[in-house]
């Protein structure tokens, strides 16, 4: 699975995010290191994350314990 183009974001915790629409996978690169993928995420949920006033809060509310994830690097 090739990593999609990543978008730099303003966040105290997240460096960049990307979305693979074919596989419905969100990629999240954290500032302190670690690239995670969240699986089976609808595109509208990714867009909600991308445009959220607080990316960290949105992630915590809408992704954690909702979508399966794994650390890939």
- The domain in which residue 34 lies consists of 7-71
Portion of the chain with pLDDT greater than 70, in percent: 99
**Residues, the chain, total?**
73
pLDDT at 1 over 80: no
17 assigned to some structural domain: yes
Closest CA to 30 of 54, 14, 50, 9: 14
2 vs 1: which has the higher pLDDT: 2
**pLDDT tens digits, 18-47:** 999 999 999 999 999 999 999 999 999 999
Mean pLDDT of the chain: 95
1 assigned to some structural domain: no
Distance CA 4, CA 1 (A): 9
Tokens of 6: 């990543």
- The alpha carbon of residue 65 and the mean position of all alpha carbons in its chain are separated, in whole angstroms, by 14
Q: Are 24 and 42 in contact (CB under 8 A)?
A: yes
pLDDT at 10 over 70: yes
- Structural domain count of the chain: 1
50 assigned to some structural domain: yes
């Amino acid at each position: 699975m090739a990593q999609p183009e990543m978008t730099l974001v303003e966040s105290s915790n997240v460096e960049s995010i990307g979305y693979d629409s074919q596989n419905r996978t969100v990629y999240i690169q954290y500032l302190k290191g670690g690239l995670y993928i969240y699986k089976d995420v609808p595109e509208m949920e990714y867009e909600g994350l991308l445009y959220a006033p607080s990316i960290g809060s949105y992630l915590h509310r809408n992704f954690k314990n909702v979508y399966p994830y794994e650390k890939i690097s």
